[in-house]
Amino acid sequence: MLDQVIADTGVLVALIDRRDRHHAWVTQQLTQIAPPLLTCEAVVSETWFLLQRVKNGWEALLQLLERRQVVIQFDLDAELATVVALLTCYQSVPVSLADAELVRMAELYSNSFVFTLDSDFQIYRKNRNHPIPLLSPQ
């Protein structure tokens, strides 16, 4: 079982939206992951926005949070300088705030995996030059 798994937006959307092309893959991966999934508020915000057209999507996201199956484990205020440095470093990718926060989380949780559908995580590095361990369909 994997623990300290950090969830990206696409994974949460695919988990909730049964019509998403990655839904089956995400749900299968969850059988190998010890709950809870870790994430940040920026990912929750992006997920909320993308679920606006998914029936009961918002409710499902709130249930994941209320049941602590997904836990917000990031303090942007405390990590702002590092996140700004990551946003600057990867501005040509381009990087979103959520992605920069997840890169920082991967640094803070040194044994973690980032659970993502986003190929940009193959470009990002933690601690300047170390690949981020990924749980990804690529």
**Residues 138/31/124/81 CA torsion (nearest 10 deg):** 160
- State what percent of residues in the chain have pLDDT above 70: 100
Q: What is the pLDDT of residue 13?
A: 98
What is the SS3 assignment for 43-101?
HHHHHHHHCCCCCCHHHHHHHHHHCCCEEECCCHHHHHHHHHHHHHHCCCCCCCHHHHH
pLDDT tens-digit series, residues 78-130: 999 999 999 999 999 999 999 999 999 999 999 999 999 999 999 999 999 99
Residue-level pLDDT at 20: 98
Compute the average pLDDT of residues 26-52. 98
25-43: average pLDDT: 98
- Provide mean pLDDT across the span 24-51: 98
Domain 5-135 fold: Rossmann fold (3.40.50)
pLDDT for res 90: 97
**pTM value?**
0.97
Other beta carbons less than 10 A from residue 58's beta carbon: 14
Per-residue pLDDT band at 138 (split at 50, 70, 90)? confident
Query: Do residues 58 and 88 touch, judged by C-beta distance below 8 A?
Result: no
